[in-house]
Structure formats: structure tokens, C-alpha cells
Amino acid sequence: MLDKHTAHTLVTAKINANYDIDDDELIIIDDLTIEKDYGWIFFYNSRRYWETEDISYLIAGNSPILVEKENGSIYEFGTAFPVDEYIKQYETTRAHFFSSRAQKLEQKFLQAEEVG
């Protein structure tokens, strides 16, 4: 189980891995972070933009990033739709995945009872 600090560190490393602008770095905007029971959704931009609000430093295509608390999985959302749409899609998909997984486990359990 991850804590917020560890998730923050993972995302910071990920977003800066290929960012190579002199005297700049990508930073997480902590005030925009969304916390859910399953993880955190982080938003980021360039430090220069955040400090100066000069649009020439604004980063385009910086999609929000979700880190799951349970296992540290990282998911990049898109930028074509509002973040709420991506959250809704993730939550629907996640619920379907866990529901499907539970059904498979139940089937295995019932099969094991029939054999035993």
C-alpha cells in the first residue's frame, strides 16, 4: 500500500524522466491533487510557468496521472475530455475488473468444493 508522498515521488520521477529544458522541471501542483479511496490524481506543469504565469512556459498535453494506492500502478489520463470523464471511465472499468475477478474466484471456489 502506497502513501501519498511515495506516489508523489513516483509521478515526479516519471514526468521529469524525459523533460530536458534548461533551468526548468515539471512539478506537481499539490493544490489540484484529487484523492480517491483507490489513489491520487496528480496534475503538473513546468515550474517556470507555475512561478511566472508566463504562457510561453506553459506545457501542453500534460494529462493528469493516477497512482493506485494498492499497488502503485500508474495511469495517464487524456486531455481531450474533462478529468471527471476520465475518472468516471476508470472507476467503471475498475469496478468491472474487480467484479469479473470476484466471479472467477467464486467459480474456482465452487469447482474446488465439487471436487472435494
In this prediction the pTM is 0.80
Q: Which amino acid is at 60?
A: A
Given a cut of 50, the residues of the chain with pLDDT beneath it are 97-105
- Residue 20: alpha-carbon gap to chain centroid: 22
| CA dist., res. 78 & res. 27, Å (int) | 18
Determine the pLDDT at residue 70.
Answer: 93
Q: What is the end-to-end Cα distance of the chain in Å, rounded?
A: 35
| CA dist., res. 33 & res. 66, Å (int) | 10
Determine the pLDDT at residue 93.
Answer: 86
Domain residue limits, the chain? 4-115
- Is-contact 75 97, C-beta < 8 A? no
Query: Cell triple for residue 102?
Result: 470476484
| CA dist., res. 44 & res. 48, Å (int) | 12
